Chain A
Amino acid sequence: MLKATAYLFLKHSTHRAIPTRYLTAAAELQQDERLQSFRTQEADPSKHSKDHLAQFYTIPLSDRNVLFQHGGLPKTFQQHIKTFNETCLMVREPAVDIINCLKSIDYDKPAVRFVLYGKNGTGKSISLAHVLHYAFKNKFLIVHVPWVGDFMRHCKDSSNSETREGFIDLNINAAAWLLHFRTQNAELLKNPDLKISRDIQWTKRESTAKDSSILELIEHGINRMRFASDCVNILAEEIKLLSNAGICKTLVAIDGFNEFFYPTTKVYTEKKEIVHPNKITLTEGFLNLTKFDWKNAAVIVTVDEMTVKVHEEGTDPSMSHFPRFLLGKHGFEHLDPFLPVNVPLFSKKEHESIMDYFRERRWVRPYPGQDEELYFLSGGNPFTLLDYCKSL
């Protein structure tokens, strides 16, 4: 199965001719030139620069299976990957800016924090995925939360925490996240230097010894879901210590960070009361990781309007996509100081690029004036554009 898809991927991701029934002989040549202009062969994000802006690069299947096995790419995008038989991301300015920053920051200083913000559907998650790929290629230890809404809004189960009074554990979600962490960092976790700094006593009979590999800690958390949430918190502490010691460099990537501060969740106590994220054990671990009291690390976070929209009925006129509003007072104080990175709407060039890509992939039937019409209708919003290309 993988071989077949790999074959198809190889067959379709390289330069190939458009069927002539769409084109005259003269236009075919022009189309080939444009074909090359919207794709780039550079598959290493470290080498992406301003020259590659508005071009599509393909994530190799092997990388994709490791990085995004358990989430990280938006649902609609996953469907597109399946239909197009390839994972192509557009190289856009926010991601390139962050990558350049990551290349040039001094890792001996406290962790730098980036906040990706933008209107709904502008491509924050995709930019985050791009940066993740860069981190993967450069052997960062990746702490990636694909979607905080999975914890807060789609929690599979909840139980009272054993170690802390009044706190709620999300067992299945925590275990699933540990699995995700293990898959992403499979290569790096083989490194014997990644050791736990202290003894951990789970119960009377179960314990994890000091200087045992982090992998054991994770395995324990996955196998024993009861302790998964606590395992996550301990893992967070250990990772910080390891980074401080310089054994590994870490990238923390969290999508939908503002959900950690939004008071309304879909997590309920036994008495059917809404649980504030403060009272969820998992929150503590991730908030710990996003502090600036450690080095050899970088933190990238996105803030999302959808969090608030889902809970509020109708559109609040005071609604804004800016971080200060979405994070709220506590979130802002926690993250301050940070580097805000705006994810803008499509420019005309990016719009043309994605339309060329869709036409090449046979997703969209071309007609004269298509680009201008769709640019006007979508207003440059990437998600809306995808929406309007559905029936074309």
Chain B
Amino acid sequence: MIRQNDIRILSCDCITPFGDSSATCEALLEGRSNVRQYPLLGNAEEALVPLSLFDEMHADLPPRWFKIVQKLLAPVCGPQWGRADTPVFVSSSNFGVDSLYYLRHEGREDQLPYAVPHSSVEQIRKVCGWGHNISLCSHACVSAHIAISCASDALASGAKQALVVSYDFISPFVTGGFNALKILNGQAPKPYHCAPSGSIALGEGAAYAVLALEGEGPTIRAQSTWNEMFHYTANEPEGSGFAKLLEPILPLLDKERIWLKGHGTGTVEAGRIEAVTLAKLFPQAPLTGWKGALGHTLGSCGLIELAIALRAMEQGRAPGTVASQKPCFTENIALKPFSTKPYDAVLILSNAFGGAHAAMCVSND
């Protein structure tokens, strides 16, 4: 779809193990990675896998993500949110599913209030003092993009402002699943690196954005989605999904003046398809990916990486593809930080199970 209205981002921030969006952007500009090796399910004797965590996985009350999200959302707490004309959109691929896992496997019945999506969000709603107008969007790793598109629709149909929130934290539920799919192994991720095998790292974090049709701030100029439905966990191998995603918004973009924040998890096939397709469509544009430093923050990656991209544009330098190395799939992969001054906008892409793709183009005016 193509949005007909520009959407203003009045404020946007994230929290990662590095800190807020400014601290995270700074860490990435310095080439630092928070990815470390942790036991797969949190027990010492298990195989090690690359994760970017705030602290080790464990059951806690409230869950260890809760206070981190609460801290992030302090600027957007209050009863003005969650009303008919100020809707809240919360996205996640996990919500509080870690609590359901711990409840079942460790008998932690105290986890129940956080164990399903709506109860998890209800705990956030109560602590933030919001009203009840909250939509929950969950579309695996494009969840945050979907929430932003729903918020955009709400604004176009009369809402004054919309708040988008996304959070994803790591638990054995997630690490066990990605390991079973054989895409989370012992290797550290090197996004877009041309090698016989690759791996992702899983990461955690949260972000929010306040959106409106009018006001001061960066602008979401275009949004698009495409769901390939070619395979449950893989993309169509010729890259048609990326091309179909961008087809409706390409006429709106100035190809010469755009930089690309790709999905780039570190898996070989998906990275190759993405890099090659984007290099064909945007031969002049530098392509960078940050999951080698942050891990893949799952359904929240679109919003977390938007917050970092905004800080990068404010200071005029974008982080490179931290933790990767040559040879890369294409010449336009930026391994080192680069100036954003020659560019007017960034195209932010995410990719999910089912060949779900999402993109948004954001300019700094």
Question: Do the two chains belong together in a single complex?
Answer: no
By a beta-carbon cutoff of 8 Å, the part of chain A in contact with chain B is none
